[in-house]
Amino acid sequence: MTLAWLKQRRRAKLLAQPFLSAWEGIIEANVFHDQQLDPEQRAKLRQLVAIFVAEKHWEGCHGLAISDEIKVTIAAQACLLVVGLDEVYFDHVVSILVYPTAYVGAETEISRAGVVIEGGQARMGEAWYRGPVVLSWADALAGGRHEQPGHNLVLHEFAHQLDMMNGRRIDGTPRLQNSTQYRRWGEVLQPEYEKLINDCEHGRRGFIDCYGATSVGEFFAVLTESFFERPAILRQYHLETYEVLRDFYQLDPASWPTPPQWPHK
């Protein structure tokens, strides 16, 4: 109780301070989706960012100096996932390790023990069970700026972290609200996942990236990217899947407006 009270008190003090104008400029320049949110959602995103930046341990790797731009750009994308949720701060994620670009990791595959490794030896990111999130800054920035619609490294890795919040590590199912939602999740997403595997094995490429056929964990992360990055297309071709994700995230990005004058130069 004491620790929870101290955390709430610390967060209240953080939120009592005005959001820095420099941070506002960073989000405006680097986070495409922020401009699609309504005023209430944008205000909540900034509260989440303030807490996220303050509470995580940030470490630059391979000589990268961690700046406010790096912290705020990554935090805003991660917190976008939980704008519609109540009291979710990724408390289990203590550290964010950031490399300048894609990096080379160890060859050992230990995903069954709770690590998600992206792309073999050359990696853009990793999400560890009860451990750090590792990101390439170049790719995190490109995703924030919507340079390759449909792909967003930060959304992908933090979708894995949401997946792990149910206490079962990577199983493709985040912590849901009730038994009805769990039942609907399985009824819709399990057949969708099996169809993706079959289609990809037979060379039938559709809207959902075949990387999602790698495992149920990757399936959820890839769907999350599509839900936020190309929601109208996901809704058009995979309506039930879109609705399941909409009900989980408590957001409807297919209805969001396209930001004017984007990308910013």
**Segment 183-201, tens digit of pLDDT:** 999 999 999 999 999 999 9
Amino acid identity for residue 141 in this structure: L
SS3 category, 173: coil
Amino acid identity for residue 195 in this structure: K
Average pLDDT over residues 150-170: 91
Residue 167, pLDDT score: 76
Q: Print the SS3 string covering 140-165.
A: HHHHHCCCCCCCCHHHHHHHHHHHHC
By the 8 A CB rule, do 247 and 182 touch?
A: no
Rounded to whole angstroms, the Cα distance separating 67 from 76 reads 14
| Confidence grade of residue 152 (pLDDT, cut at 50, 70, 90) | very high
Query: Given a cut of 50, is residue 110 above it in pLDDT?
Result: no
What are the structural domains of the chain? 2-255 (3.40.390.10)
SS3 category, 117: strand
Q: Give this prediction's pTM.
A: 0.91
| Confidence grade of residue 111 (pLDDT, cut at 50, 70, 90) | very low
Nearest to 185 by CA among 248, 100, 249: 248
Rounded to the nearest 10 degrees, what angle do helices 39-55 and 2-16 cross at? 120
Amino acid identity for residue 179 in this structure: S
CB count within 10 Å of CB 59 equals 13
Per residue in 227-263, pLDDT (tens digit) is 999 999 999 999 999 999 999 999 999 999 987 766 6
Average pLDDT over residues 18-44: 97
Rounded to whole angstroms, the Cα distance separating 137 from 133 reads 12
Query: Given a cut of 60, is residue 146 above it in pLDDT?
Result: yes
